[in-house]
């Protein structure tokens, strides 16, 4: 039934995708004319339950650029999975449209949906592997279902297993694999149909930090070398910072904010984003926090000042400048400097004995934001 014919169409498209641009690369500033892979246009979702209806998504309008890694974040229950699952119509949007590579997913017939889903792979938090089947059996399954000839299946399974770093493991059963290896099988299975889009719902949440890193590297590789667009849900903000080009923050089913990851992370505007990013903030060192007074009680106390900067083309705070502007008494207590997608951002805590008002106005020229957190004794 047309299955093989469709498969061979997608093979040639895939070959075309693989061949060019390992450089599609930087992920920094996508070509403004870049095509849209997924367009959410006023998407709403209402679940009808025995206890009434749950309005899980409201008026979601945002585009996912082709070839990008797009993060979906938000508190538990914000609607992330609901949104992701409208892309392959595991959930149907009850309002608005979801357009994937130009196709309104609602317009797909049942047969059309089967073919469409081969182009949209999905990776799950708990891997969803069949324990009675080997690695080969799990990865080959979508191709067997699609009626692909055995020889081609062998070839394609071997290819994806090599890609995810599992060559030699094809005869192992899932129970013999580590969590990271299981997720590699899950990713191989999602890739074996040569999809154009990969949906990942908490793909690394069941893994330890080191394995998480290796899976992220793999996803990044897949995105860069195969040009596959990835939509990724995670609770780990360091994951988003690491690999997402763009991010949307959901709050109670609506968009709190959306944009380039470096912009959102360096200047979170919405309370929901600030709360999500809190764990990435260094905070005030405990011993200093314990001694922090809200008012200057006598002149031996120094002001504890927080400077933050991000985006704006600022490359950091020049120490020479700091000493020149504030004077030699300035003391750095803590400093975190990092880069997201090539943009520097950071936060510095320092103490100064300079007069409050003078100090703050001076600092403002050095960073995007300056504020006095309190006062500590001279001996910090
Ligand atoms: N099948 C369903 N039937 C009824 N309500 C649902 C269903 N799926 C999700 N919901 C509700 O819709 C809202 C959004 O759920 P969703 O699973 O999309 O959130 P989430 O952001 O993925 O949360 P988490 O981070 O906990 O996975 C929640 O209030 C949830 O209870
Ligand atoms: Mg979820």
**Counting ligands in written order, which one lies closest to the CA of residue 201?**
2
What average pLDDT does the segment 49-75 reach?
Answer: 97
The answer to whether residue 248 sits within a structural domain is yes
Residue 92 lies in a domain: yes
As a whole number, mean pLDDT of residues 168-183 equals 95
255, 278, 301 — which closes off a domain? 278
Is pLDDT of 18 > 70? Answer: no
Mean pLDDT of all residues in 48-60: 96
List the one residue out of 335, 378, 375, 332 whose CA is nearest residue 356.
Answer: 375
Tell me which of 40, 81, 236 to substitute to probe ligand 1's pocket, judged by most ligand atoms within 8 Å of the beta carbon: 81
Q: Looking at ligand 1, which atom is closest to the CA of residue 85?
A: 18
Q: Given the CA of residue 81, which atom of ligand 1 is nearest to it?
A: 22
Closest approach atom of ligand 1 to CA 54 = 5
Q: Whose CA is nearest to atom 14 of ligand 1?
A: 79
- Does the beta carbon of 79 lie inside 6 Å of ligand 1? yes
> Is 276 touching ligand 1 by the criterion CB < 6 Å?
no
Closest C-alpha to 70, from 235, 264, 246: 246
**Chosen domain end from 226, 243, 278:** 278
pLDDT at 209: 85
Q: Same domain for 111 and 202?
A: yes
Same domain, 250 and 350: no
Mean pLDDT is lowest, of 9-23, 92-106, 180-194, 195-209, for 9-23
Q: Which helix (H) or strand (E) holds 13?
A: helix 3-18
Q: Is 301 in the pocket of ligand 1 (CB under 6 A)?
A: no
User: Using the 8-state DSSP alphabet, how is residue 235 labeled?
Assistant: S
Looking at the fold, whether 113 and 222 belong to one and the same domain comes out as yes
Q: What is the C-alpha separation between 272 and 261, in angstroms, rounded?
A: 15
Are residues 115 and 202 part of one domain? yes
Residue 22 has pLDDT above 60, yes or no: no
The Å distance, Cα 222 to ligand 2 centre, comes to 23
Classify residue 187: in a domain, yes or no.
no
Q: C-alpha angle with apex 305: 304 to 307, nearest 5 degrees? A: 155
The finding on whether 11 has its CB within 6 A of some atom of ligand 1 is no
Mean pLDDT across the stretch 55-72? 98
What's the pLDDT score for residue 21? 37
Number of domains the chain contains: 2
Residues 251 and 306 in one domain: no
Same domain, 47 and 93: yes
Token look-up 């985006």 returns 311
- Per-residue pLDDT band for 31 (boundaries 50, 70, 90) equals very low
Of 60, 70, 62, 61, nearest to 30 by C-alpha is 70
Closest to 53 measured CA to CA, from 253, 250, 257: 253
Together in a domain, 314 and 297: yes
19 pLDDT higher than 90 = no
Task: State pLDDT tens for residues 121-142.
Answer: 999 988 999 999 999 999 999 9
> Domain limits at 262?
3-119+195-278
Mean pLDDT over residues 347-367, rounded?
78
| Res. 169: pLDDT tops 70 | yes
- pLDDT tens for 277-318 read 988 877 788 888 888 888 887 777 888 888 888 766 667 778
Distance between CA 84 and CA 232 in Å, rounded?
8
pLDDT value at 11 more than 70: no
Mean pLDDT for 33-47 is 93
Residue 330 within a domain: yes
DSSP 107: G
CATH code: domain of residue 67: 3.40.50.300
Compute CA distances 59 → 79, 89, 254, 328, whole Å.
Answer: 12, 17, 7, 54
Note whether 49 and 107 are same-domain residues.
yes
Those residues with Cβ within 8 angstroms of residue 254's Cβ, 6 or more apart along the chain or in another chain: 57, 58, 59, 60
CATH number of the domain encompassing residue 333: 3.30.70.260
User: What is the CB neighbour count within 10 angstroms for residue 259?
Assistant: 15
Whether residue 256 has its Cβ less than 6 Å from ligand 1: no
- pLDDT exceeds 90 at position 177: yes
Task: State if residue 139 touches ligand 1 by the CB under 6 angstroms criterion.
Answer: no
Q: How far is the CA of 57 from the centre of ligand 1 (A)?
A: 10
The domain boundary residue, chosen from 278, 307, 327? 278
H/E stretch holding 215: helix 209-226
Query: Which amino acid residue places its CA nearest to atom 29 of ligand 1?
Result: 77
User: Residues 221, 322: one domain?
Assistant: no
CB of 74 shorter than 6 A to ligand 1: yes
CB-count exposure of residue 197 (10 Å: 0-12, 13-18, 19+): buried
- Residue 39 clears pLDDT 60, i.e. is over it: yes
Residues 304 and 246 in one domain: no
Cα 39 to ligand 2 centre (Å): 20
54 lines ligand 1 (CB under 6 A): yes
- Atom number, ligand 1, closest to the C-alpha of residue 74: 21
| Ligand 1 atom with minimal separation from the 48 CA | 4
Atom of ligand 1 nearest to the CA of 235: 25
Residue 364 has pLDDT above 80, yes or no: no
Indicate whether 89 and 221 sit together in one domain. yes
Tell me the average pLDDT of the chain: 86
Distance 133 CA to ligand 2 centre (A): 27
pLDDT digits (tens, 9 = 90+) for 239-270: 898 899 999 999 999 999 999 998 899 889 99
pLDDT of residue 313: 63
Considering the domain boundaries, does residue 124 fall inside one? no
Ligand 1 centroid to residue 79 C-alpha, Å: 6
What per-residue confidence (pLDDT) applies to 252? 98
Give the lowest-confidence range in 188-192, 198-202, 326-330, 355-359. 355-359
SS3 373: strand
Look at residues 77, 90, 84, 91 and name the one whose alpha carbon lies nearest to residue 40.
84
Please indicate, yes or no, whether residues 216 and 338 belong to a single structural domain of this protein: no
């Amino acid at each position: 039934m047309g299955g093989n014919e469709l498969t061979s169409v997608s093979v040639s498209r895939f070959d075309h995708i693989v061949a060019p641009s390992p450089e599609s690369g930087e992920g920094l500033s996508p070509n403004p004319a870049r095509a849209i892979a997924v367009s959410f246009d006023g998407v709403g979702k209402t679940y009808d339950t025995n206890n009434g209806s749950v309005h899980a998504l409201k008026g979601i309008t945002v585009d996912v650029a082709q070839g990008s890694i797009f993060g979906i974040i938000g508190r538990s229950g914000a609607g992330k999975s609901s949104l992701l699952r409208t892309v392959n119509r595991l959930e149907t949007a009850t309002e608005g449209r979801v357009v994937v590579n130009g196709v309104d997913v609602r317009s797909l017939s049942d047969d059309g949906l089967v073919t469409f889903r081969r182009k949209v792979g999905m990776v799950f938090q708990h891997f969803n592997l069949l324990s009675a089947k080997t690695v080969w059996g799990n990865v080959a399954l979508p191709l067997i279902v699609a009626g692909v000839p055995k020889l081609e299946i062998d070839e394609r399974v071997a290819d994806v297993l090599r890609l995810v770093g599992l060559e030699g493991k094809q005869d192992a059963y899932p129970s013999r694999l580590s969590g990271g290896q299981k997720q590699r099988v899950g990713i191989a299975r999602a890739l074996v149909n040569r999809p154009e889009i990969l949906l990942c719902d908490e793909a690394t949440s069941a893994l330890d930090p080191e394995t998480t890193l290796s899976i992220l590297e793999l996803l990044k590789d897949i995105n860069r070398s195969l040009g596959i667009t990835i939509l990724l849900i995670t609770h780990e903000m360091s994951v988003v910072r690491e690999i997402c080009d763009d991010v949307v923050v959901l709050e109670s089913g609506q968009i709190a904010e959306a944009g380039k990851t470096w912009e959102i992370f360096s200047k979170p505007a919405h309370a929901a984003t600030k709360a999500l990013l809190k764990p990435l903030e260094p905070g005030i060192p405990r011993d200093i926090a314990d001694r922090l007074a809200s008012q200057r009680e006598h002149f031996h106390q120094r002001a504890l000042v927080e400077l933050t900067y991000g985006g704006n083309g600022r490359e950091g705070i020049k120490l020479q400048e700091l000493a020149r502007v504030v004077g030699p008494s300035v003391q750095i207590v803590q400093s975190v400097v990092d880069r997201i997608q090539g943009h520097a951002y950071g936060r510095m805590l320092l103490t100064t004995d300079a007069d409050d008002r003078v100090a703050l106005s001076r600092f403002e020229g050095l960073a995007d934001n300056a504020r006095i957190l309190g006062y500590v004794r001279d001996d910090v």
